[in-house]
Structure 1
Amino acid sequence: MKRLLSAITMAATMLFVAPLAQATIITYYADLSGLNESPSNASPGTGSATVIYDDALHTMQVKATFSGLIGNTTAAHIHCCTLAPMTGTVGVATPTPTFPGFSLGVTSGTYDTTFDMTLASSYNASFVTASGGTAAGAEAALFAGMSAGKAYFNIHTTFVPSGEIRGFLAAQAVPEPGSLALIGLGLAGLAFRRRKKA
């Protein structure tokens, strides 16, 4: 009876956790500098940007830190999709004139906002038009571009209106929570089984 109850409990837990494993969560990262701009500039400013995309929830969390800028911030957004990976310039893919809530008129700061990628307002209207006219098309194009190294995070300032610091986003290898949960369940099951044999 105990074995049957244990098997049912484990099966129910796996059925509950299995849908979580279906989500793909990808983390993209970029180091921001004036040398990464096109053309490069002599800004001493530095920063980093992290973009976390969840394809099941259709969300994009954007986190950035920056400091040491010469000019005051005028805008920040993600540009996509360049012709060749890690080089060139291209139009803005995310909201214009800037990310909602991004601090303007400063030389340092932080940013952390999550976007609903099913909404057209999460994109530049011209990017939506160029991506088939739908938010779904824009989402697919943006994340294909990011995965291919053809998207960059750019901070524009009064010192360099076209962008004082930027960095191309690159995918980071991070295990997704669903996979970690399944691994944990498997290890717990093995430990339980081993304990019963002892």
Structure 2
Amino acid sequence: MNRVVSSLVLSVTMLLSSAAFAATTSYRSAMSGPSEQPPNDSPGASIATVVFDDAAMTMLFSVPFMNLVAGSTVAHLHCCTPESLIGTAPPAIGFDDFPVGVQTGLYERLYSLADPNTYEPAFLAAHGGTVDAARAFLLQGINSNQSYLNIHSTEYPAGEIRGFLVALANPVPEPSSWLMLSVGLAGIGFCAAKRRAA
């Protein structure tokens, strides 16, 4: 019976350190005209959400926007400014399929951070041309609040609204991981109770 309990303890320990506990980290970007560089008085706004999955190496962008003063032209994720929450940086990921010619809309897309085509060519080249180096630099910049989203328009070709990415919370394990952990712990408890009864 000791072997069964030991096996279950080992299984739960492996579960805790496995990819089943892959975490997602969510970020928000509150974009506005006054946050642009240089600031402007656009009434445009967005509360964008970015979700990074560290197991799949993906980044999901959800960018609703409204009230731009002119039609949208393009949008980017920029990285990395010299200081947190201030300054400018080159585009790291360009949203080539961003809706254009509209003042209100929604952009949603899942990007693979393992794909070199995700990154702007200049950003990739600036980091040795390797995906691993570009991804590491980008994630470090995002987590240091040195990365921002912005949307450009015909009225503001340099950018009408922008906002820095800020993490919402610590990574949280997937619900399925909690379920597997609970089953494992219940199994250990059952085996221990059965052992005491024997």
Partners of 1:8 and 1:70 lie apart in 2 by 63
RMSD of Structure 2 on Structure 1 (CA): 3.0
Per the alignment, in what secondary structure is the counterpart of residue 94 of structure 1? Answer: strand
Structure 2 partner of 1:129: 125
Gaps of 5+ in 1: none
Map of 1:176 onto structure 2 = 172
Q: Following TM superposition, by how much is the alpha carbon of 1:69 offset from its aligned partner in structure 2, in angstroms?
A: 0.7
TM-score where L is the length of structure 2? 0.83
Where 1:35 maps in the other structure, the secondary structure is coil
Q: Secondary structure at the match of 2:70?
A: coil
The runs of 5 or more residues in structure 2 that have no matched partner are none
Give the corresponding residue for 1:156. 152
Residues 21 and 173 in structure 2, CA contact (< 8 A), matched pair in contact too: no
Aligned mates of 1:80, 1:71 — CA distance in 2: 25
How many Å separate the matches in 2 of 1:87 and 1:16? 41
Matching residue of 1:47: 46
Following TM superposition, by how much is the alpha carbon of 1:160 offset from its aligned partner in structure 2, in angstroms? 0.6
Q: Which amino acid aligns with 1:59?
A: T
Matched residue count: 193
Post-superposition Cα deviations, 1:99-123, rounded to whole Å, max 9, x if no partner, equal 1431111001111111111111101
Contact 2:24–2:53 (8 Å) recurs in 1: yes
- 1:45-194 aligned within 5 A: 45-95=44-94, 99-178=95-174, 181-182=177-178, 185-186=181-182, 189=185, 193=189
Q: Percent sequence identity over matched residues?
A: 34
Query: 1:19 and 1:192, CA in 2 relative to 1: closer, same or farther beyond 3 A?
Result: closer
